[in-house]
Amino acid sequence: MRFILLLAFVLGFLPVKAGGPWAEGKGKGYVETSALFAVATTTKDHTYQLYAEVGLLEKLTFKAIIPLKYISTPNDLDPNRFEQGTLFGISNVTLGLKYEVFKKKAVMSVGFDTELKTLNSDAALGLRTGYQKYTFRPIYSVGYGVEKLYTYGEIKPGFSTNGFGHDINVIAEIGGKVDENIWIAGYFEIRGVFKNGDFNTLDAETFLNTGFYRDRQNFFTAGAKIAATLVKGFGINGAVFYGTNVTQSNGGGLISVKAGIYYDW
């Protein structure tokens, strides 16, 4: 399954009990540490991540996402022609703010995320742990909650540096309580590149062999997730999802699973 990227720091990693248009509230917050693994793929692509939301004001929330990646050279590449190896390091860190502009049963918020050009790279192996760019994302989010059910949608255009193209993300999620302490949800995300860049043209030749974090990468992912509070705000969660990654010349799909521990206060 060469050229497949595990898009772990997008929707498949977002927790059931955070995200969306809802503000945390002043002094409240959510922290989660989690791991996500690809299933039955020729490329090791594991992600270990810290996700946090903290309420700065009643309607203003700060967000941070810090992912670490462990990846490998695809084992379907000819070892006589291509160097084999693994790489571990930080991926693109996200810092953001979210402001709740309207709240009744329906909620509307606006936000802004900055995805930093933080990554580890090995040109000889053709491996890197993140996109070699900064991305700036205004976020427009609307949600609705009633009794034990909720749903929300987001639109997140992304404007990139370093010769990468610009893209737009569309997210939807629906979920609810099945027990006093258990939440389940279904979700999907689509990303489409609306303006191609020239990064692929200028990129090192070795990265063409592995396909990691190049330009012009559209994707679709969908799946289900569950969260269960155990005691005093501490809980566990998990997710399973199917994702596809399509570059200008190739594509594919894979199933991934996630497990995490969270604290909600």
pLDDT in tens, 61-116: 999 999 999 999 887 788 778 888 999 999 999 999 999 998 888 999 999 999 99
Element (DSSP H or E) covering residue 21 = none
Here the tokens at position 173 are 């999620």
Residue 82 pLDDT: 81
Query: Closest Cα partner for 265 from 90, 41, 54?
Result: 54
Element (DSSP H or E) covering residue 201 = helix 199-202
Residue 153 pLDDT: 97
Query: Closest Cα partner for 125 from 83, 69, 88, 90?
Result: 83
Whether the predicted pLDDT of 251 surpasses 90: no
Residue 127 pLDDT: 93
> What pTM was computed for the model?
0.89
Q: Which residues, in sequence order, are bridge partners of residue 71?
A: 45, 87
Here the tokens at position 19 are 């995200």
Whether the predicted pLDDT of 17 surpasses 80: no
| Mean pLDDT lowest among 19-28, 39-48, 148-157, 170-179 | 39-48
* Contact status, residue 85 vs residue 119, Cβ threshold 8 Å: no
Mean pLDDT of the chain: 88
Residue 29 pLDDT: 96
Residue 255 pLDDT: 86
Band (pLDDT 50/70/90 cuts) for residue 137 is: very high
Rounded Cα distance between 131 and 60, Å, is: 28
Rounded Cα distance between 260 and 34, Å, is: 4
Element (DSSP H or E) covering residue 40 = none
Higher pLDDT, 89 or 19: 89
Residue 121 pLDDT: 95
**Predicted confidence (pLDDT) per residue in 179-237, tens digit:** 889 999 999 999 999 999 999 888 888 888 888 898 888 888 999 999 999 998 999 99
Whether the predicted pLDDT of 13 surpasses 50: no
Distance between the two ends of the chain, CA-based, in angstroms?
Answer: 41
Whether the predicted pLDDT of 147 surpasses 70: yes
Calculate the CA 254 to chain-centre distance: 15
Residue 14 pLDDT: 52
Band (pLDDT 50/70/90 cuts) for residue 1 is: very low
Backbone angles phi, psi at 12, to 5 degrees: -60, -20
Indicate the residue type of 79.
P
**SS3 call for 59:** coil
| % of residues, the chain, pLDDT over 70 | 90
Here the tokens at position 262 are 């969270």
Here the tokens at position 42 are 């020729």
**Cβ-based neighbours of 135, under 8 Å, separated by 6 or more:** 92, 113, 114, 115, 158, 159, 160, 161, 164
Residue 16 pLDDT: 55
